[in-house]
Structure 1
Amino acid sequence: MRVNVGSTNPVKVKATENVLGKIFDELEVRGVEVDSGVSDQPVGLEETVEGAINRARGAFSNCDLSVGIESGLHRVPGSITGFVDLQWCAIYDGDHVTLGVSAGFEYPPLVVEEVLSGREVGDVMDELTGVDELGRKRGAVSFLSHGLLDRVGNTEQCVLMAMIPRMNPSLYGLE
């Protein structure tokens, strides 16, 4: 099974390897740089999912499956900041896209305020934590959860959820 991930971010590549390695006996995963076609910091369901799908479609070349993963802030009434971060995964096989989403969490109000004023979450979290490129390492979720969940684990969730229809093709009309 040859899989391209529409990103060279090591977290996204590792999470894809970890999940698909449990499903397929032989696996080759490589990250490829593609344009998400959305803003650097997606806000809202539509933009975030569109970015994941664009990444998956853009990475589909000389492979069996391609994976696109995009994080974004989603408006959630009743939350402290009004927004929850969710990662979406799109998996493409040349015909069908399947989608999955990770568990979500809230950033501190300061982070959300900065993002809504035009900054990227990664830049704000790097400043807040003092860790350069936190999102390419353990991730904000690890910092905020005190190490109980890291970004690889959080990203694995959306990859697995996007694989569910592919693991049950007759139930989803994919045969």
Structure 2
Amino acid sequence: MKIVVASKNPVKLKATQNILEKIYPAVEVEDRDVDSGVPDQPIGLEVTVQGAINRAKNVFSPDFDLSVGIESGLLEVPHSITGYLDLQWCAIYDGEKITLGVSAGFEYPPMVIEQVLGGKEVGDVMDQVTGVDKLGQKTGAVSHLTQGMLDRTGNTEQCVLMAMVPRMNDDLYFE
């Protein structure tokens, strides 16, 4: 099974490989840098999901069995402290159909959201907060905020696995 991930982020590549090698007997995973077609800091459900879909479709070629697009974004959530939760969406494309999955969501501190709404990217703000350069390509903000109980790889694995649910149950979803 040949899979391409539409990102050079090592976390997204590792998370995809970790999940798909549990599903398929032999997996080759490659990465490609692909534009999402959405703002660098997606805000809102539609734009975040569209970013994942765009990535998966834009990187797909007949050389691969599946392409994977993963996009993190802030979604408005009523009754939350800041009004927003961060969720990662995964789109998996096989040249015909898209399947989607989402990770567990979490809330950033209010000062992070204030700066993001002022035009900064979450990653840049969290790098400043933690003092870790390129935190999102390492353990991620979720690791810092959960005191190491969940890292970004694990959080990303969640959305990849959820996007695979229909493919793992083909007879229930596509027959």
The bucket for the TM-score relative to the shorter chain is over 0.9
Structure 2 length normalisation: TM-score? Answer: 0.99
How many residue pairs are counted as aligned between the two chains?
174
1:59: how far off? 1.1
Q: Give the aligned partner of residue 11 of structure 2.
A: 11
Gaps of 5+ in 2: none
Gaps of 5+ in 1: none
Secondary structure at the counterpart of residue 25 of structure 2: coil
1:20: how far off? 0.1
What stretches of structure 1 move > 3 A for 4+ residues in a row?
none
Secondary structure at the counterpart of residue 36 of structure 2: coil
Say yes or no: does 1:43 pair with 2:43: yes
Paired with 1:104 and 1:20, the residues of 2 have a C-alpha distance of: 22
Secondary structure at the counterpart of residue 15 of structure 1: helix
Q: Give the letter aligned to residue 12 of structure 1.
A: K
Paired with 1:33 and 1:107, the residues of 2 have a C-alpha distance of: 27
Q: Give the letter aligned to residue 16 of structure 2.
A: T
Paired with 2:74 and 2:143, the residues of 1 have a C-alpha distance of: 17
Over the matched positions of the two proteins, sequence identity in percent amounts to 70
Report 1:11-160 matches (<5 A). Answer: 11-61=11-61, 62-160=63-161
Secondary structure at the counterpart of residue 34 of structure 1: coil
1:163: how far off? 0.1
Secondary structure at the counterpart of residue 73 of structure 2: strand
Q: Give the aligned partner of residue 168 of structure 1.
A: 169
Q: Give the letter aligned to residue 34 of structure 2.
A: V
Q: Superposition RMSD on alpha carbons, in Å?
A: 0.5
Structure 1 length normalisation: TM-score? Answer: 0.99
Paired with 1:156 and 1:140, the residues of 2 have a C-alpha distance of: 15
Q: Give the letter aligned to residue 53 of structure 1.
A: I
Secondary structure at the counterpart of residue 85 of structure 1: strand
